[in-house]
Structure 1
Amino acid sequence: MQNFELLEYQINTEINQKMNTSVRVAIQGIKASFHEEAAFKFFGNNIQTIECNSFKKTCEVMDANEADYVVMAIENSIAGSLLPNYTLIREHNFAITGEVYLPIQLHLMGLPGVKLEDAQFVTSHPIALRQCIDFFDDFPHLKIVESTDTAACAKKIKDEGLTDTLAVANTLAAKLYGLNILERRIESNSKNYTRFLILQKEKNEDLQEISKASIVFQVGNHVGALSQVLNIFAEQNVNLSKIQSMPVLGKRNEYYFYVDLEWTDTDKYDIAVRKALKYTVNFNIMGEYLKNDKV
Structure 2
Amino acid sequence: MSKIKVAIQGTRASFHEEAAFKYFGQEIETVECETFKHTCEALKKNEADYVVMAIENSIAGSLLPNYTLLHDYHFPIVGEVYLSIQLHLLALPGIKLDQIRSVESHPIALRQCADYLEEHPLFKVTEGMDTASCAKKIADNKLTDTAAVANQLAAKLYGLDIIERRIETNKKNYTRFLILSKEKTENPKANKATLLFQTDNSIGSLARVLTFFSEEQINMSKIQSMPVVGKRNEYDFYVDIEWKKQNNYDAAIRKTLKHTINFNILGEYIKNDKI
TM over 0.5: yes
Mapped to 1, the partners of 2:203 and 2:117 lie a distance apart of 44
Q: Which residue pairs with 1:233 in the alignment?
A: 213
Please provide the CA RMSD for this pair. Answer: 1.8
Mapped to 2, the partners of 1:252 and 1:142 lie a distance apart of 46
Q: Which residue pairs with 2:133 in the alignment?
A: 152
1:69-84 superposed matches below 5 A = 69-84=50-65
Cα contact 2:18–2:153 (8 A) shared by 1: no
Shift of 1:191: 1.5
Q: Tell me the alpha carbon deviations over residues 48-107 of structure 1, each in whole angstroms, 9 at most, x when there is no partner.
A: 111112211111100001111011111122222111111112211100000111122100
Cα contact 2:132–2:154 (8 A) shared by 1: yes
Q: Which residue pairs with 2:106 in the alignment?
A: 125
Change (3 A) 1:219 1:153: same
Q: TM-score, normalised by structure 1?
A: 0.87
Larger displacement relative to structure 2 (156-165 or 207-216): 156-165
Amino acid at match of 2:237: F
Mapped to 2, the partners of 1:246 and 1:139 lie a distance apart of 39
Q: Which residue pairs with 1:271 in the alignment?
A: 251
Q: Tell me the alpha carbon deviations over residues 110-129 of structure 1, each in whole angstroms, 9 at most, x when there is no partner.
A: 23454545544322223322
Mapped to 1, the partners of 2:145 and 2:231 lie a distance apart of 46
Task: State whether structure 2 residue 195 is matched by structure 1 residue 215.
Answer: yes
Mapped to 2, the partners of 1:250 and 1:165 lie a distance apart of 46
Mapped to 2, the partners of 1:78 and 1:277 lie a distance apart of 33
Mapped to 2, the partners of 1:230 and 1:140 lie a distance apart of 49
Q: Tell me the alpha carbon deviations over residues 153-178 of structure 1, each in whole angstroms, 9 at most, x when there is no partner.
A: 10011112233432111112112222
Amino acid at match of 2:139: K
Larger displacement relative to structure 2 (118-127 or 45-54): 118-127
Say which SS state the counterpart of residue 163 (structure 2) adopts: strand
Cα contact 1:109–1:168 (8 A) shared by 2: yes
Shift of 1:152: 1.1
Q: TM-score, normalised by structure 2?
A: 0.93
Aligned residues: 275
Q: Which residue pairs with 2:176 in the alignment?
A: 195
Cα contact 2:33–2:39 (8 A) shared by 1: yes
Mapped to 2, the partners of 1:115 and 1:22 lie a distance apart of 40
Larger displacement relative to structure 2 (125-134 or 37-46): 125-134
Task: State whether structure 2 residue 11 is matched by structure 1 residue 26.
Answer: no
Q: Which residue pairs with 2:241 in the alignment?
A: 261
Identical-residue share of aligned pairs (%): 64
Mapped to 1, the partners of 2:205 and 2:120 lie a distance apart of 48
Change (3 A) 1:162 1:221: farther
Structure 1 moving runs of 4+ over 4 Å: 113-118
Q: Which residue pairs with 2:270 in the alignment?
A: 290
Q: Which residue pairs with 1:9 in the alignment?
A: none
Q: Unaligned regions of 5+ residues in structure 2, if any?
A: none
Q: Unaligned regions of 5+ residues in structure 1, if any?
A: 1-19
Cα contact 1:54–1:148 (8 A) shared by 2: no
Mapped to 1, the partners of 2:161 and 2:67 lie a distance apart of 36
Mapped to 2, the partners of 1:64 and 1:283 lie a distance apart of 26
Cα contact 1:103–1:194 (8 A) shared by 2: yes
Larger displacement relative to structure 2 (62-71 or 34-43): 34-43
